[in-house]
Structure 1
Amino acid sequence: MSGTHTFTVGDRGRVVLPSRLRQHRGWPEGTTLVAIETAAGVVVTSREELELIVEQQLAGVNLVAQLLEERRASATLDDRA
């Protein structure tokens, strides 16, 4: 199932997601959802799904090595100035 679902912002900013969407996504009552604002609009996903996406995007990436490389490059530029 994929597609477009509509829902209305109610009082106090609450929205009710259609039951078919909640069932398809496996979002039972109490599921924490994350709204990600982008230039194109808003993406809604569960916290667990977001964690998986981030893990997949960072797979094989050594963040410490990247940070050290960036710091060294910055220090080199500072030394030249």
Structure 2
Amino acid sequence: MSEGGRIVIPSEYRKQLELEVGDEVMIGLMNGEVRICTLKQAIKRAQEIVRRYVPEGRSLSDELITERRQESLRE
């Protein structure tokens, strides 16, 4: 670790993560470990979690739009 807390990610790790200069990453502390993932990986993980609770073919965004339209008609 260098001054300022900077850490270099080895090139072989960057290649496996498909990281390029300027890419944004997510950094988290879990169980005393620092974990780094790409935004793409974080989005994929979030989608997998949502899929456990939302049946295939159901569109939460369509439901929200319908709900909002119904609310605006009541106003």
Per the normalisation by structure 2, the TM-score is 0.63
Q: Percent identity?
A: 15
For 2:27, the equivalent position in structure 1 comes to 35
More contact order relative to length (CA 8 Å, sep ≥ 6): 2
State the distance in 1 between where 2:52 and 2:45 align: 14
Q: Once the two structures are superposed, what CA deviation does each residue of 1:5-54 show, in whole Å capped at 9, x if it has no partner?
A: xxxx2111111111111012100111111111112412110112101101
Secondary structure in 2 aligned to 1:23? Answer: helix
Q: Is it true that 1:23 corresponds to 2:15 in the alignment?
A: yes
Q: CA RMSD in A?
A: 1.8
Structure 1 spans left out of the alignment, 5+ residues: 1-8, 65-81
Structure 1 residue ranges (4+ consecutive) displaced by more than 6 angstroms after TM superposition: none
